A and B are shown apart, each in its own frame.
Chain A
Amino acid sequence: MSMLSIKDLQVYYGAINAIKGISFDVEQGEIIALIGANGAGKTTILHTITGLVQAKHGSVMFGGKDLTKTPAHKIVSMGMAHVPEGRRVFAQLSVLENLMLGAYTRKNKAEIQESLEHVFKRFPRLEERRGQMAGTLSGGEQQMLAMGRALMSKPSIILMDEPSMGLSPLYVSEIFDIIQEINKSGTTVLLVEQNAKKALSIANRAYVLETGKIVLSGDAHELMNNDSVKKAYLGE
């Protein structure tokens, strides 16, 4: 059975049909990329999975439960973390407070401390700035904080929405390296990216979205060599 299984998902914003019946699976240990242009519905799919947006039809099965019928705040404790688009760190709280909110649903203090040390090891910059207000961090640092905050819930799957958005090329490479590291340490990754080239280079499989529908799917390396993908998303 797949770790995360999405069946015939349909989402509406008022009368606008944003997601028009999408199905896909994520297997344990994979990096799955959802690629597509602006407005294709990538972010909406992630928001629907974690309950920020309500689905009109379809199911999102995870851990034996249908997430479309689960309150949003119960999802993180099931082992799913979401790094939202635009990072959405709590600007007026410190770096450390942001990280501790990531572990909000966890009880065991020793384990939380252990996760904190892991996060600081992975993002030494966050440790240096632990007392600083999150709003004063640079974009790349905020992205690291958002990822660290998600890791604080010790997720089995992590959803990442446009982690490279607005970052300098140097940071982009660093962030993608970190995503691979996170995956290697056993966390499944569902990655939404406009930077298709980067996303496909680290993903196992990928789905290509166009205006709310999946138009292509398959092995990430094969998709990279697919002519229509090359033309539309890789700029070749």
Chain B
Amino acid sequence: MSFISYLISGISLGSIYALIALGYTMVYGIAKMLNFAHGDIIMVGGYAVFTAMSTAWCPVWLSVIIGIVVCTVLGVVIEKVAYKPLRNAPPLAVLITAIGVSYLLQNLALLIFGSAAQNFTSVVDGMPPFLIVTDNGAQFFTAVEPGVRTSLKVSMETFLSIVVSIIIMAALTWFINKTKAGRAMLAVAEDKGAAQLMGINVNGTISLTFAIGSALAGVASVLMCSAYPQLSPYTGSMPGIKAFVAAVFGGIGSIPGAMIGGVLLGIIEQLAKAYISSQLSDAIVFLVLIIVLVVRPTGILGKKIREKV
């Protein structure tokens, strides 16, 4: 039973990584840049939700929406202000700018909210666990009674992360493959000039990509801060880096790759924590990155299609 429990929490954590990794991979695919400020957008989203929830009049659902909107707007503004002027600059300049934006966001948060970690209240606070398995069998949406031994417990946060991520990934897949704007994204990712000749507004499409990626980061921030309720100016950096690993693991630029990479990474991390060492789990995650890069540099679903000339 404990293995199943670790697996479920791994999938849950992995779904959050996947949502963040999607932002990395979409932006990489279209703008050919690594947006290292992506993780810090999560942190800003966390603070936005936290601040909204601590005002008495703001209900939870509205706080969540505020958080997602703040992330979306922030992502678009960062692209316009920091990255767009560098569209034709060497990749290294863009990379350094992204790291600069990352530090800027962290330090702004330090200035406004201080360095002490805040206790984030889960958005499903007070709800019973989704599933408990006791000696009497499995029960859904039932609180654990005192004194009862549970052999498996899936919290509402865990359940929510998995369900929300599945819905979002399905919606995103539909959007990219079935809508005109999604097709335009694929076209811009492949050839900006040719996309322009089709009448596609390349700058608009890049903005849209940043908006979607950042909105996903906003959702991820709500799920993550609910499951791991500590919020500090550095909250976003570790998940951000791990999601980047997940994106590379799955094949950077590939959307299904980011989903698979994220979930696998979450499972690897949780199982490593459970069976190897909780101190070493992060090291193991990065070891996975090194092994992937050595064995299969393009990642699991990395694109390597042969083209005739």
- Residues of chain A at the chain B interface (Cβ within 8 Å): 50-52, 71-77, 81-82, 84, 88-93, 97, 100-102, 104-105, 133, 135-139, 142, 149, 153, 166
Contact = CB atoms under 8 A, between A and B. Distances in A.
B266 to A, nearest CB: 28
Contacts of A76: 197-199
A52 B197 contact: yes
Nearest to A149: B198
A130 to B, nearest CB: 15
A101 B198 contact: yes
A91 B186 contact: no
Given A101-B184, A153-B198, 7 more contacts: A51-B196, A73-B200, A88-B191, A90-B190, A101-B183, A133-B305, A137-B308
Contacts of A135: 305-308
Interface residues of B, number: 23
B96 interface: no
3 tightest A-B contacts by CB?
Answer: A105-B199, A76-B199, A88-B194
B303 interface: yes
Given A77-B199, A104-B199, A139-B308, A92 B303 contact: yes
Given A72-B197, A76-B199, A101 B305 contact: no
Interface of B: 180, 183-184, 186-187, 190-191, 193-202, 303, 305-309
A89 to B, nearest CB: 8
Contact of A52 (B196, B199, B201): B196
B309 A139 contact: yes
Contacts of B200: 73, 101, 104
26 contacts: A73-B196, A73-B200, A76-B197, A77-B199, A81-B197, A84-B193, A84-B197, A88-B193, A90-B186, A90-B187, A90-B191, A92-B303, A93-B183, A93-B187, A101-B183, A101-B198, A102-B198, A104-B183, A104-B184, A135-B306, A135-B307, A137-B308, A139-B308, A142-B308, A149-B198, A153-B199
Contacts of A71: 201
Nearest to A47: B193
A43 to B, nearest CB: 12
A31 B213 CA distance: 46
B298 to A, nearest CB: 14
Nearest to A102: B198
A142 B307 CA distance: 11
B75 to A, nearest CB: 22
Contacts of A75: 199
Contacts of B187: 90, 93, 101
A3 to B, nearest CB: 19
Nearest to A72: B196
